[in-house]
Amino acid sequence: MQDSFKYAKGRWDKSHKPPDFKIGDLVLVSILNFNNIKGPQKLKDFFAGPFMIKALHGANGVQLELTGELMNKHPTFPVGLIKPHSSSEKELFQLGNKSPFEIPPLEEAEEKRILKLLKEKRTRKKRKGISCKV
């Protein structure tokens, strides 16, 4: 039993390191499980932030200073849901700040008017000359 425990511990320790967060660090919070974030779910970023660490709760808990839409959430998160923020990640979070396209100005050319409203349009199939409604 002790041998299997040592073997499993050795494999775990090879690929895992304890988190090294300090009070005052900027981190991003995973928001995959939050349902109160506004906007379409499909276009939502995976992380929100950056937020500043206010307190550490042991090795696995972090208390953050939340702002904006996350202000109503409980401020303590497990270490698995946060990641350190770097200044190079600002490019990743630009879509939330700016619209991805510009609206072209309207041209004041000639006004178009509707000549005729069609209730249905008949098209002719190429086989046997049968017409059908589309």
Instruction: Note if the pTM is more than 0.75.
Output: no
Q: What is the pLDDT of residues 13-68, one digit of tens each?
A: 888 877 888 999 999 999 888 777 777 777 778 888 889 999 999 888 999 998 88
Between strands 82-84 and 122-124, the pairing is: unpaired
Q: Is residue 133 part of a domain?
A: no
Q: Quick one: what percent of the chain has pLDDT higher than 90?
A: 27
Q: Is residue 119 part of a domain?
A: no
Q: Is residue 102 part of a domain?
A: no
| Rg of the chain, C-alpha, whole Å | 28
Placement of tokens 């510009």 in the chain: 102
Contact 31, 44 (CB under 8 A): yes
Q: Is residue 74 part of a domain?
A: yes
The domain that holds 74 is classified in CATH as: 2.30.30
Lowest mean pLDDT among 38-47, 69-78, 125-134: 125-134
**Which domain covers residue 30, as residue numbers?**
15-86
Whole-number Cα distances in Å, 102 to 94, 97, 98: 15, 14, 10
Q: Quick one: what percent of the chain has pLDDT higher than 70?
A: 72
Tokens linked to 99 = 């619209």
Domains in the chain: how many in total? 1
pLDDT at 70 exceeding the cut of 50: yes
